[in-house]
Amino acid sequence: MIQKVLIANRGEIALRIIRACREMGIKTLAVYSEADVQSLHVQLADEAICIGGPRSSDSYLRADRIISAAEIADVDAIHPGYGFLSENAKFAEQCESCNIKFIGPKSKSIRIMGDKAIAKDTVRKAGVSIVPGSDGPVENETEAVKVARKIGYPVIIKAVAGGGGRGMRIAHNDVSFAKEFHVARNEAEKAFGNGAVYIEKYIEKPRHIEFQILADSHGKVLHLGERDCSVQRRHQKLIEESPSPFLNADLRKKMGKAAVKAAEAAEYQNAGTIEFLVDAKGNFYFIEMNTRIQVEHPVTEEVTGIDLVKQQISIANGDKLGFDQSDIKFEKHAIECRINAEDPARNFTPSPGTISLYYPPGGFGVRVDSHAYSGYAIPPYYDSMIGKLICFGPTRKVALQRSYRALSEYLVRGIKTTIPLHKAIMSDPVFIEGKATTAYMEDFMSRTPTDLF
Ligand code: ADP
């Protein structure tokens, strides 16, 4: 039985994991960097160990120090959260070989799904449609141009090791392709230490719709419905909701089945997400699997009533999933707004600093997952998300109204945030009508005066 968990993360997700552990009677160990001494996860965990300097490369990415902390504090499992080491197969393997349970999939599944080219090949063989593209990485420009012409422009050049919306370039013809191909390779090398890229058809104005998977170690694989994450800026999600206003029951069923097949193909265990792009006609294509808990997981929790982090811990413990596909009901609508310390009026420049006043909204149908508090100094070293506002109700209309109401109550003084931007989106007719595709944000920003934010 898991009795003590090391949380190899910070911020709101570290708090989220502490909350699940506490409800399960499991002790928690926080690890933190020198920049996070004042962080809530350090205050709220049962124990805390400092593992290094402010930069992630000196702390949250130091597998050796995290494993040492786990051994010193005698934990029996590590929860990696999202980002940092969560999709690092080597780290999962190190945990496995030290007899510490990694609360996530087996390293083998991370390896398959972490290389986007292998991932696509694996799910294609299992009968799931993928975006047309190169068979694996393309080695040189001549070969790449041939592939691009064969697929037909526009194409997207993507890093095999990509993530977080980075390492992607779009080309509309041979000339722009030659340029973007080199830029993409250089960027990928710098960002991920792996310059390999592959090519895909660029789907115009698709929706990003992903399915939440839960799989236990006894072979049961279920899906918990979808999240529509089409509202993105520079390929990074800003708003997520469930159910998707685009899917009908028939398409949901088809995509859910495909998602389960894709997870099975990677012999997946634990919580994971299968991401699809969906075109206007309802054709859907697998783009990648995220082999971890995701930022937007609360949307699914509120719709289904299932605590995903507790399920992750139980699965890592070897327990069987206590329900079947037919037991999972989608009875609510939930919308999540990511609250980032960024200035939307100034091209989303990061706005670190001290929060002079913090007052989160509450009331019926409102959930806030955040590590912010009045007086909290946001360190400049990590990502800019300071919280997530999740509003839910019986219908999409109620969830929208509730989101607008809650955003109006949400006070964060001393820094700039995305709160006013979300308010403007919640009252935008295109979003209200459920018509947002991944092209939505660019259009919204071009027609909305920035003095609104
Ligand atoms: P990452 O791992 O960096 O998040 P993904 O492959 O998940 O990258 O893609 C992120 C986003 O980029 C998608 O949600 C979508 O908006 C856009 N995108 C990726 N591939 C394509 C494609 N083939 N056509 C159009 N848009 C794409």
pLDDT tens digit string along 360-401? 999 999 999 999 999 999 999 999 999 999 999 999 999 999
- Convert the pLDDT of each residue in 234-270 to its tens digit: 999 999 999 999 999 999 999 999 999 999 999 999 9
Which amino acid, 206?
P
Best probe residue, ligand 1, of 87, 187, 287 (max atoms within 8 Å of C-beta)? 287
Residue with CA closest to ligand 1 atom 18: 235
Torsion of CA 246, 250, 253, 255, to 10 degrees: -50
Q: Edge-to-edge strand order for the sheet containing 197-201?
A: 168-171, 155-159, 197-201
**Which pLDDT value is given to residue 167?**
78
Which amino acid, 357?
L
DSSP label at 130? B
Higher pLDDT, 392 or 159: 392
Alpha-carbon gap, residue 333 to 325, rounded angstroms: 19
Spacing, Cα 236 to ligand 1 middle (Å): 9
Of 3.40.50.20, 3.90.1010.10, 3.40.50.180, 3.40.640.10, which CATH number belongs to 4-103?
Answer: 3.40.50.20
- Residue 40's Cβ-count burial label (10 Å; 0-12, 13-18, 19+) is buried
Q: In the CATH hierarchy, which top-level class contains the domain 207-452?
A: alpha beta
The b-or-e profile of 15-32 (16+ CB within 10 A means b, else e) is bbbbbbbeebebbbbbbb
When pLDDT is averaged across residues 86-106 and rounded to a whole number, the result is: 97
Spacing, Cα 235 to ligand 1 middle (Å): 6
DSSP label at 452? G
Share the mean pLDDT of the chain.
97
DSSP label at 320? P
**Residue 144 pLDDT class (50, 70, 90 cuts):** very high
Q: Is 292 a catalytic residue?
A: yes
**Which pLDDT value is given to residue 191?**
87
Fold of 132-201: Dna Ligase; domain 1 (3.30.1490)
Alpha-carbon gap, residue 279 to 264, rounded angstroms: 25
The active-site residue, picked from 16, 65, 185, 292, is 292
Residues lining ligand 1, Cβ inside 6 A? 131, 156, 162-166, 168, 200-203, 206, 208, 232, 235, 275, 277, 287-288, 438
**Which pLDDT value is given to residue 281?**
96
At residue 418, does pLDDT exceed 90?
yes
Spacing, Cα 63 to ligand 1 middle (Å): 28
- Residue 338's DSSP bridge partners are 388
Residue whose pair of structure tokens reads 């997952």 in the numeric block: 369
- Convert the pLDDT of each residue in 115-133 to its tens digit: 888 999 999 999 999 999 9
**Which pLDDT value is given to residue 163?**
81
Residue spans per domain, the chain: 4-103, 132-201, 207-452
**Which pLDDT value is given to residue 93?**
98
Alpha-carbon gap, residue 338 to 383, rounded angstroms: 12
Q: Which of 157, 147, 255, 253 is nearest to 207 (CA)?
A: 255
**Which pLDDT value is given to residue 164?**
78
Spacing, Cα 287 to ligand 1 middle (Å): 7
Share of the chain above pLDDT 70, in %: 100
**Residue 342 pLDDT class (50, 70, 90 cuts):** very high
At residue 162, does pLDDT exceed 90?
no
Q: Which ligand 1 atom minimizes the distance to the CA of 166? A: 3
Q: Which ligand 1 atom minimizes the distance to the CA of 131? A: 23
Spacing, Cα 366 to ligand 1 middle (Å): 30
- Residue 214's Cβ-count burial label (10 Å; 0-12, 13-18, 19+) is buried
Contact status, residue 392 vs residue 303, Cβ threshold 8 Å:
yes
- Convert the pLDDT of each residue in 266-302 to its tens digit: 999 999 999 999 999 999 999 999 999 999 999 999 9
**Which pLDDT value is given to residue 386?**
98
Contact status, residue 276 vs residue 260, Cβ threshold 8 Å:
no
Residues 6+ apart with CB under 8 A from 23: 307, 310
3-state secondary structure of 92: helix
Q: Is the pTM of this model over 0.75?
A: yes
Q: Which ligand 1 atom minimizes the distance to the CA of 165? A: 3
